Structure 1
Amino acid sequence: MQQTLTLAGRILLAWIFLSSGLEKLGALQGTAEAIASTGLPLEFPLAVLVAVFEVTAAAALVVGWYTRAAALALALFTVAASFLFHAYWQVPPAQQHVQQLLFLKNLAITGGLLSVGAFGPGGWSVDARRAR
């Protein structure tokens, strides 16, 4: 049961990044505009980089390839994105509740990613096969 649950956890954690990355790839200009709204430079190249990173790291997490590195990179990315895009303490009161929920959701996802980083991908993974 442990292998099944570990694989399911990796898939569920990766799902949000895979779908988000694919969405960004399909709407790079909108992604660049969102990035520009935070004051970050080079918004279009950064939009491409973020989208490719999310898709690649999510795929690595699903198949369990360099799993710990992918999970830790996604954890760092998620924390950074939370502070940049869900700074609920900086938005008007009418928007604070939703932004706080998104911020806290991201912290929960980060917790799951840190667990994968700490405990590894489990037996059903490319990493486990390479270790044999």
Structure 2
Amino acid sequence: MLNSLQNPFSLLGRALIALLFIPAGFGKIAGFAGTAGYIASKGVPMPEVAAAIAIAVELGLGLLLLVGFQTRWAALGIAIFTAVITFIFHAYWSVPVEQVMMQKQAFFKNIAVVGGLLTIVAWGAGAWSVDAKFKG
């Protein structure tokens, strides 16, 4: 029975993961100055460039993931981005004690998302994707 659900589950899984990134990319465009300021507050050099990269990854690669085009590469790019930013923005080991629980939860949520993305890298988008349409 689960094999018959593989394609809808693949699409749903891609959509749910993309839902984390696409709205965040739009939010960064709408609040670009605030995003760059927050990035700068974490000590990241060239915060405007970093914000533009974040938008490209979250919005651009997020949309590719959603429709299933160049899916493995899109998922890999988002996974690398997420892994890197997790250590910068959710460093729970270096925050005040009252922030540890929230940052630790965000850290491990992001690590789990990286795991989901790596699964997509390994298995691809599934049959309900642009990749599958071009392959066949």
Question: What range is the shorter-chain TM-score in?
Answer: over 0.9
Partners of 1:104 and 1:53 lie apart in 2 by: 20
User: When the two structures are superposed, what TM-score results if normalisation uses the length of structure 2?
Assistant: 0.94
CA contact (8 A) 2:57 2:77 kept: no
Aligned to 2:18: 14
1:120 and 2:109 are equivalent in the alignment: no
Partners of 1:5 and 1:48 lie apart in 2 by: 32
1:88 and 2:92 are equivalent in the alignment: yes
Which of 118, 123, 133 is the equivalent residue of 1:129?
Answer: 133
Q: CA deviation at 1:41?
A: 1.6
Find the residue that maps to 1:39 and give its secondary structure: coil
Aligned to 1:36: 40
Partners of 2:21 and 2:36 lie apart in 1 by: 17
Which of 101, 104, 117 is the equivalent residue of 1:100?
Answer: 104
1:66 and 2:70 are equivalent in the alignment: yes
Which of 20, 27, 40 is the equivalent residue of 2:31?
Answer: 27
Find the residue that maps to 2:84 and give its secondary structure: helix
Paired AA for residue 106 in structure 1: N
The total of aligned residue pairs comes to 132
Q: Runs of at least 4 residues of structure 1 off by over 4 A?
A: none
Q: CA deviation at 1:39?
A: 1.4
Partners of 1:69 and 1:127 lie apart in 2 by: 11
Partners of 1:59 and 1:18 lie apart in 2 by: 7
Find the residue that maps to 2:44 and give its secondary structure: coil
Q: Structure 1, unaligned stretches of length 5 or more? A: none
Paired AA for residue 66 in structure 1: Q
Q: CA deviation at 1:129?
A: 0.9
Q: CA deviation at 1:78?
A: 0.6
Aligned to 2:49: 45
